[in-house]
Structure 1
C-alpha cells in the first residue's frame, strides 16, 4: 500500500481537477460555451491542451515500454508531425473556422450526403472508445503495480473524477486542466529520468554503452520494407494518423473554434508539435535508461518477469509453471510493466505521489477530451440530425452531460476488455489505423476533389472499406490459403486504406465525368 504522504498528494491532485470543473461550471449556461468556450481561449493554452492530449498514458507508459523491449523505431511517429502540421495549419484550420460548424463532420453531409457524415461519426466514436479504453487500461495497469488495488476499481475511481470535471466545466475545464496536466506529466518524466540515471551504476556513460551494444537507439530498418515495422512504415503511419488528428479528429477540430482568431488556432498546432517532439524523445530516453538500469541490476527484474508470466497463465497456474515461463520471456513481453516497477521500488515517499499524479494527468487529459468531443459529436451529428434539430440551451446542456457520462462508461468498459494485452501502444496503433483510415480518405476526397459527387465518394469508400477489412482480418484465413493474407505490416492499414478511398473515388469521378460527357453528346 502507498504511504499516507503519497496518497495525500494524489487526493489533492484529483480534488484540484474536480474543483477546476466546478469553477468553470458557473459559465456553462449554453451549448456554445460547453463546446467552444465562446472562442476566448488563448492560443498558447490551446497548444498546451493539444500537447497534453497527444501525450497520453499510452505515451507515458507505452513509449518507454517499447524502447525498453525493442528500440526507438516508434520515434519516427513523432518525426512525421511537422509535415502534418504544415497541411493542417495552412488548410484545415481556415476551412473549419470558415464553416463555423462545431462538428468536424457536418461538411461531409453537405458534400456527399447523410451517409458520409454518419460513416465518419461512427468511425470517430469507435476510435474514441478504443482510445479511452487503451488509456484506462494503461492507467489501471500502472496504478495496480504501484498501489495493489484492483484494475477495475482504479478505472472506476479515475473515471468518476474525469466525468465530474468534464461534465461541470465543459471544453473550458478540459483545456485548462490539460494545461496543468501537460506541465505536470512533463515534470514527472524529467524526475523519473533523473532517478533512473542516478541509480544506474556508471551513470549516463554506462547507459549509452549498453544501449549502443544492444542497438537500443535504432530507428528501425531504413530499407523500403513495408512488411515489417521499418522506419518508413512508422513514418507513413505517423503522417496519416497525425493528418487525421489535426484534420478530422473532433478532439482537435473543436479546439480550433475555442481560439480567438484563426491565427491563434494555427499557432496552437505548432506549439503542440514543437513541445511534443522533444517530450516524446524524453520518453524514449527513459526507456533506454531503464533497459540499462536493469542490465546493471538484473536481479531486480525477476519480479517483473514473474508478474508478466502469472498474468499470461492465469490465476490457476502453479508457481513452477509461472517460474518456467518467466525464464523464457523477452524484454518486449513485459516492457509496459518496467517503469511502474521502477517507480514503486526506487522513487522516494512523497515523490511517488507526484509521479502517480503525473501518470494520472497523462491519462485524464486525453480521456476528458475524448468524452467532451464524443458527446459533442453525438449531440450535433446524431441527436440533432436524426431526432430533434432545435434544442433549448437547457435541453442541449442536458444532452451533452448525459453523452459525456455514457461515453465515459463505454471507455471504462473498453479498458476492462483490454486487460491482459501485451503492449498498450501496439493495440492502440492497430485499432486507430483500422477506424481512422476510411474517415481520412473520405475527408481528403471531399476537400481536394471538387468534382467528386455522392456516388463516386460512396464507391471509393466502399472499395477502401473492403481493403481495410481484408488487411485487418486476413490473418484468419486458413494456412492453405495463406497467399491471400495481407503481406503488409498492420500499421500500413491507415496508409493503404486512405489512399485506396481517395484514388478509387477519383477513378469513379472520372468515369462519371465521361458518362456525362457521352450523354451530352
Structure 2
C-alpha cells in the first residue's frame, strides 16, 4: 500500500459517510426514518436492492470461487429473475395495498400477533448473524493480507456504517448505496481490463477464454439432478427461485429497499431492473475470477493464497516438507506457462490438429497442481489445526495487492469496504426497523413519532454493536459467500412457506401455522446438521414442509368442524 492508495481509500470512505449524513440529517418521524419519505425512484430501488445483496463477500469470494471451480456458480442465480416476476405480481401489490412498514406486519392481520412475532424473530436471528459476517468477511481477509489488526478493522467498518445509518435511517442507506455501487462497478471494470492487458501480447481475450475452457473453467451448465451436487441448473432454477423469493420477498433488509418507493409501479420496475442486471453482474464477477486464473497460467502464484496459513506452516516442523511442495508447484507452473503460450500460439495460427492434446496436457497439469495444493493444505492443518486452509477468499485480494498499479489498489480496497458498508447498512437498518415496528411499537403503542425514531436509532446502534461483537468472535468457513447463503437457506424456506400460506391458502389459520413453523425450523436444522441435502434445497424443503404440516394440523386438530364439535359436546 502506497501513500496514493491510502489517499484514495480514505477519501472514498469519508465522502460516502459524510454525504450520507449530510443528505439525510433531520428525520423527525417514522415515515421519513424507516421509509425514507417514500421518495425513491425505480433505478435507486434497483441499485439499492443489488447493493444490499452484493456485500464484500461477493467481491472477495466470487472471483476466488471461479478461480478454483470455474463459472458453474452462476447457476445459483438462475432462479432470481423468476422470483422477481412472482414478487412483482404477488408480494408487492399486497405490501403496497396494506401500506406496511415491514413485511411481517401483514402476518398479524392475516394470522395473529404470535405468528408475526415468530417470523420477525426468525428474521432477526438469521439477519443478525449475517450482519456480523458481512463485517467479518473483509476484515479477516484484509487483516491477513495487509497485516492490519482484525478487531480494529471490524470496529472501523462497523462504526463507519453505524454513523450514517443511525443518522439518516433508510434514506441514508439508499443515498450512499448509489455511490457505493458506482465505486464497485467502476473498480471491477478497471480490474477486468487490467487483467486482460497483463496477458502476453499474443493472447487476446478470446484466447484467454479458450485457455480457461481448456482447463474446465468455462463449464457453466450442469443438468444433473443430484441433491448432493451443490450447483446445478436445477438447484439454481428450483432452489435458487425459492431462496430468492424468500430473500427478496420476505427478508426485511430487501423488502425495506422497495417499500420506500413513490408508487407500486416504481417498486415493480426496480425489482425487474434488479432481476435483469443481477445475473449478468454475477457472471461478470465470476469472469473476473476466471481471468485471474488465466493470468496465473502465465505468472507464478503462491501455493496457498492465505499469507497467514503460509506463515504458520513455515514456522512449524513441517516447513521443509512445505518447501518441497513450493518447489514442485513452481516447476508445474513453469510447465503450465510453456504449454499455455504454445496453446495460445496454436489458437492464433489456426493449427488445430493437436489442439485436443494441448487441452488434455493442460488439464493434466492443472490436476497435478490441484493435488499439490491439497497436500499443502494438509501440512497447514497439521501445523495449526485452527488455521483456515481454504484460500478461495484470498485469491482476488492477493492479485489486487501484488499486480495493480498505485492508486488502483486503494480503489479496489474501497470497493471491498464500500460493499461491506452498503450491505451491513441495509441489514442494520432492517434489523432496527423490524425490532421497532414488529416488537417494540406493537407492545408500546400511543407514543410520539419522535419517540419511535429515537428508539429506532438506538436499536440501530444496538444491532451494530452486536454485529461488531459477532464479527470479532467469528471464524472462516469453507467459503464466505456460501456461509451467508447457508444461514439464509436454514431460515428462508420456513419464512417463505408462512407467507405463501398467508397469501394463497386462506383455509389455514394461525395456530396451525405457528406450530408448523416451530416444527419445521427444528427439522430443517436437524437436516442441515446431518448433511442430508445441499443447502440450496433447504429452501424448497423448508417451504414445502411448513405448508404440508400446517395443512395437516389445520385439518386434524384446528378445523372449524372440530371446534364446533367440541362446543356441542
State yes or no: 1:333 paired with 2:390. Answer: yes
Q: 1:73 to 1:345 in 2, by over 3 A?
A: same
Q: Do structure 1's residue 294 and structure 2's residue 351 form an aligned pair?
A: no
Alpha-carbon distance between aligned partners in 1 of 2:526 and 2:304, rounded to the nearest angstrom = 40
- Please tell me whether Structure 1 or Structure 2 has the larger radius of gyration of its CA atoms: 2
SS of residue paired to 2:530: helix
Q: TM-score, normalised by structure 1?
A: 0.91
Question: Contact 2:304/2:391 (CA < 8 Å) preserved in 1?
Answer: no
Q: State yes or no: 1:91 paired with 2:90.
A: yes
Q: Is contact 1:145-1:344 (8 Å) kept?
A: no
Structure 1 match to 2:539: 494
In structure 2, how many angstroms separate the alpha carbons of the residues matched to 1:227 and 1:115? Answer: 36
Contact 1:310 1:322 in 2 (8 A): no
> Do the aligned residues in 2 keep the contact of 1:77 with 1:239 (CA within 8 Å)?
no
Q: Report what 1:508 is aligned to.
A: 553
Alignment CA distance shift 1:215-1:353 (3 Å): same
- Aligned to 1:29, the other structure's residue is in SS state coil
The correspondence of residues 108-507 of structure 1 with structure 2, limited to 5 A, is 108-144=107-143, 147-201=146-200, 202-219=203-220, 221-231=222-232, 232-297=234-299, 299-302=300-303, 304=305, 307-310=308-311, 319-320=319-320, 323=323, 328-330=372-374, 333-386=390-443, 388-475=444-531, 486=532, 488-507=533-552
* Worse overlay, 372-381 or 24-33: 24-33
Unaligned stretches of 5+ in structure 1?
476-485
The residue aligned with 1:51 is: 50
Report SS of the residue matched to 2:302.
helix
Shift of 1:109: 2.2
In the aligned structure 1, how far is the partner of 2:499 from the partner of 2:432? 21
CA distance in 1, matches of 2:49, 2:199: 34
Deviation at 1:88? 0.5
Q: Deviations over 1:293-329 (max 9, x none)?
A: 12222x3323626544556x69877644765787743
Q: Which residue of 2 aligns with 1:480?
A: none
Paired position in structure 2 for 1:16: 15
Question: Partners in 2 of 1:305 and 1:169 — Cα distance?
Answer: 38
* Post-superposition offset of 1:289: 1.0
1:233 deviation in Å?
Answer: 2.0
Give, in whole Å, the separation in 2 of the partners of 1:234 and 1:309: 35
Q: Tell me, in whole angstroms, the C-alpha distance in 2 between the residues paired with 1:214 and 1:473.
A: 34
Instruction: Sort the Cα spacing of 1:198 and 1:513 in 2 relative to 1 into closer, same or farther, 3 A.
Output: same
8 A Cα contact 2:64 2:392, kept in partner: yes
2:209/2:218 contact within 8 Å kept:
no
The equivalent of 2:348 in structure 1 is none
Tell me the alpha carbon deviations over residues 365-385 of structure 1, each in whole angstroms, 9 at most, x when there is no partner: 110011111001111111122
Give the direction of change, closer, same or farther, for the CA distance of 1:309–1:351 in structure 2 (3 Å limit).
closer
**What is the RMSD of the two structures over their aligned residues, measured on CA atoms?**
2.5
CA contact (8 A) 1:185 1:361 kept: yes
Q: Is the 8 A contact 2:144 2:306 kept in 1?
A: no
Residue 26 of structure 1, CA deviation: 3.1
> Does the CA contact (< 8 Å) of 1:21 and 1:170 recur in 2?
no
Deviation at 1:72, TM superposition (A): 2.1
CA distance in 2, matches of 1:25, 1:316: 53
Q: Is the 1:309–1:323 Cα contact (8 Å) retained in structure 2?
A: no
TM-score with structure 2 length normalisation? 0.83
Query: Compared with structure 1, are the counterparts of its residues 459 and 169 closer, same or farther at alpha carbon in structure 2 (3 Å cutoff)?
Result: closer
CA–CA distance in structure 2, aligned partners of residues 355 and 230 of structure 1: 28
Note if contact 1:309-1:325 (Cα within 8 Å) is conserved in structure 2.
no
**Aligned mates of 2:160, 2:507 — CA distance in 1:** 48
Moved more, 226-235 or 335-344: 226-235
* Pair 1:73–1:90, CA change in 2 (3 A): same
Decide whether the 8 Å contact of 1:27 with 1:33 is kept in 2: no
Is the 1:460–1:505 Cα contact (8 Å) retained in structure 2?
yes
The 8 Å contact of residues 62 and 285 in structure 2, kept in 1 or not, is answered as: yes
Inter-partner Cα distance in structure 2 for 1:54 and 1:129: 15
User: In structure 2, what is the equivalent of residue 37 of structure 1?
Assistant: 36
> Partner of 2:358 in structure 1?
none
How many residue pairs were aligned? 506
Offset, 1:9: 1.2
Aligned-pair CA distance for 1:89: 0.6
Q: Deviations over 1:232-254 (max 9, x none)?
A: 22333321121012210112222
Q: Aligned residue for 1:478?
A: none
User: Bigger shift: 133-142 or 115-124?
Assistant: 133-142
Query: Aligned in 2, Cα 1:199/1:459: closer, same or farther, shift over 3 Å?
Result: same
1:17–1:165 Cα contact (<8 Å) kept: no
Q: Aligned with 1:329: secondary structure?
A: helix
Q: Distance in 2 between matches of 1:16 and 1:240?
A: 38
Deviation string, structure 1 residues 123-142 (Cα, Å, up to 9, x no partner): 11122122222221221134
1:458 Cα deviation after fit: 2.5
Go from structure 1 to structure 2 and tell me whether the alpha carbon gap of 1:474 and 1:300 turns closer, same or farther (over 3 Å shift).
closer
Measured against aligned partners, the alpha-carbon deviations of 1:90-146 in whole angstroms (never above 9, x if no partner) come to 111111111112011122122222221122112111221222222212211343355
